Amino acid sequence: MEEITTAGRPAAVAQAVIHIAKTLDLAAVAEGIETEAQAQVLRRQGYELGQGYLYARPLAAEDLAARLQPAPQPA
């Protein structure tokens, strides 16, 4: 998704997708965000949800489940 930070087709496609989603009252998720610059561009375009290496590396299902468990409270 590196090209999203420059004007051109990828940026135009991302803008069109968010416009369609908002028109249909749907949420759009930006995928493959790797840099803060990409995240900033997508936020300015109106994306509220995103995923990618910038936020977390892929996890196995069991590792994700373990992370979602509440942390033990000290006695």
> What is the pLDDT at residue 6?
80
Lookup result for tokens 């994306």 = 47
> What is the pLDDT at residue 1?
47
Cβ proximity of 28 and 17 under 8 Å: yes
Tens-digit pLDDT string for the chain (75 aa): 457 888 788 889 999 999 999 999 999 999 999 999 999 999 999 999 999 999 999 889 999 888 888 888 887
Q: How far apart are CA 64 and CA 70, in angstroms?
A: 12
Which residues are CB-neighbours of 2 under 8 A, at least 6 positions away? 34, 35, 38
Q: How far apart are CA 19 and CA 5, in angstroms?
A: 18
Kindly tell me the sign of the dihedral angle through the C-alpha atoms of 32, 34, 38, 43.
Answer: positive
